[in-house]
Amino acid sequence: MSRPIQLNAENNQTKAPSSDGSTYGKIISVRGSVVDVWFDHDLPAIYSVLYAGVDRQVTIEVLTQLDEHSVRGIALNPTQGLARGMRIETEGKQLSVPVGKEIIGRMFDVFGKTIDHDPPLPDMAQRSIHQLPPPLSKRSTKSEIFLTGIKAIDVLIPLERGGKAGLFGGAGVGKTVLLTEMIHNMVGHSNGVSLFCGIGERCREGNELYHEMKDAGVLQHMVMMFGQMNEPPGARFRVGHAALTMAEYFRDDEHRDVLLLIDNIFRFIQAGMEVSGLLGQMPSRLGYQPTLATELSKLEERIANTDAGAITSIQAVYVPADDLTDPAAVHAFSHLSASIVLSRKKASEGLYPAIDLLQSNSKMATPGTIGDRHYALAQEIRRVLAQYEDLQDIIAMLGLEQLSAIDRDLVNRARRLERFLTQPFFTTEQFSGLTGRDVSLEEALRGCERILAGEFNDLPESAFYMVGTIDEVIKKAGSSGKSANLKSETAAKPAVAVDK
């Protein structure tokens, strides 16, 4: 490294700060996304942004100061066309994104530029993506429940307002639909704003999600930001911070609750691993960066419930090779307050939302937080569903008739509970033809209590499927019963002889 620095020092083509506040340096080496830059004067600070190339098309973020004259940074764009000796410009500022009400309904990249082909934004206030987590003195001291209007989540997996929930699910089990419904209900419950952050998303996924949100009518209440899979690791590593900066504006400046959806938090860790490797840092266990815990905490700790508002986050979590002891999974789990597991088996049975109620859990499900009545009811539901799960093999081999009367009664209640915890969504009305339902927590608890008490064992199971409250179940069963009686009466009438 000393030779190229010496050559550039001799040539001495760098300049002191100009009248517009910019400082100029020049490139001394380019190795993939890693760029080393020489400065004669005013070495840029860590996280400063450097610009290179025609029309400043390449953005470089300083991550290391090598000595008093040179810095090392990671390019957030492809580095094709960069060469030794090329001039670098910096204003000493950090990477920033626009904040304001005008960003709602738009889609951005990591630089805060719109990528949805709509008219450009007006000149707006910019905010650095590197912000400190809110201090403990500003954080809320009480635990509050974040109500979603979705029965299965509110009753059994209560989410924390200002907390972080992990969403585990493969393709085709209803993950996007569930996220879309939460965005829709967020607006109805708290006049909040939703923000979707795609880290390492495929172009197809981002395009499909954008149009699905638009068709569902929720795009005007949300902001979308994507760092695509084909972008350099530096851009994927910073897109989460950029999205959080926008979320913090709505929380701190407009005092609104924010629902932040991150897909996928593992790809943030993966991008950090690539950046660490490019910078030549010594790898840790399984090749992860030695700063894994710190980098993840810098992102996650900014998601918090303060006296101004709350950022509630739902994060898709990929578990490498299904190994829960993987360092990425261990560190991600330590930040989560709830886990929502989506089941392909439930989806194949048509039980939507396809949440595996026994695998999912929440740290908020304690008597001190949700109350004794709610806690006892949730535990009883889990017990009934767990016993039904144990009996399913016997039912498959011998049939329901071979069970004892007590077990048959338990199976009846469990099957009605499973169907009652399904729900028609607002965002799928155009596909299912069913009007969406937003069910209050009290109505959901009352329905579950009455089913567990065996009040509705004589009603058909179909009456519990895809309804909102328990009153709708009674109404649906009554209308189906009337139509069944009408059919039976029609069939029982004797044929009338016609006199010819």
Instruction: Provide the annotated active-site residues.
Output: 175, 201-202
Cα angle vertex 417, ends 368, 411, to 5°? 115
Determine contact, residues 286/277, Cβ cutoff 8 Å. no
SS3 content of the chain, % helix, strand, coil (to 5): 45, 20, 35
- Residues whose CB is less than 8 angstroms from the CB of residue 178 and which lie 6 or more positions away in sequence, other chains included: 150, 167, 340, 342, 353
CA 276 from chain center: how many Å? 25
CA distance 120 to 106: 10
Bridge partners of 201? 228
Bridge partners of 198? 226, 263
CA distance 111 to 199: 14
Determine contact, residues 420/148, Cβ cutoff 8 Å. no
Closest CA to 268 of 304, 227, 307, 302: 227
For 40, the token pair is 């004669």
Determine contact, residues 274/76, Cβ cutoff 8 Å. no
Element holding 93 (H helix, E strand): strand 87-94
CA distance 116 to 269: 27
The sheet carrying 338-341 orders its strands as 107-108, 222-228, 193-201, 258-263, 311-316, 164-168, 338-341, 361-362
Determine contact, residues 246/223, Cβ cutoff 8 Å. yes
Determine contact, residues 232/33, Cβ cutoff 8 Å. yes
CA distance 131 to 135: 12
Count Cβ atoms below 10 Å from residue 88 Cβ, excluding itself. 26
CA distance 417 to 88: 65
Cα angle vertex 352, ends 321, 428, to 5°? 110
Cα angle vertex 390, ends 384, 396, to 5°? 115
Determine contact, residues 38/69, Cβ cutoff 8 Å. yes
